[in-house]
Amino acid sequence: MAVFFGLDERTVDDVLEHVVGLGCTPNRCFVFGGDMPLLAALAAHWEGSLDLTIVHMPRPDEAMLEAADFILTGEGAARECLVWVHDSSLAFEPPPGVHAAISAEGLQSRELGQALASAIS
């Protein structure tokens, strides 16, 4: 399972396009983002292709991280199965115990997609 936390929604779309193009589609994706129109467009674009859960959050901070963890737990997403992709500008780490954490720092969408594909395969 892939979790995108605090990444620009356009970047998430580009990463998903790349991963799907590699034939390594995550069984489920969670996108925690702040731009409602772009989140809606993302959901519409991937509807029927991916099991995508969209969550609007006002800002990517520690309170939202706790809320994301609560939502993921409620959805039955075990931490040890999660590949967490996050914005490098965040001043905190993903929840402990995730399968893999990928920071977007210095990476283009294609590189993020390759890292995600490697982590979920």
pLDDT in tens, the chain (121 residues): 999 998 999 999 999 999 999 988 888 999 999 999 999 999 999 999 999 999 999 887 888 889 999 999 999 999 999 999 998 777 778 888 999 999 988 889 999 999 999 999 8
Question: Residue 43's pLDDT is what?
Answer: 96
| Residues present in the chain in total | 121
If DSSP codes are grouped into helix, strand and coil, which group holds residue 64?
Answer: helix
User: What strand order describes the sheet that includes 2-5?
Assistant: 52-56, 29-33, 2-5, 83-86, 100-103
Measured CA to CA, the distance from residue 3 to residue 32 in angstroms comes to 8
Q: What is the CATH number of domain 2-120?
A: 3.40.50
pTM of this prediction exceeds 0.85: yes
Measured CA to CA, the distance from residue 68 to residue 45 in angstroms comes to 23
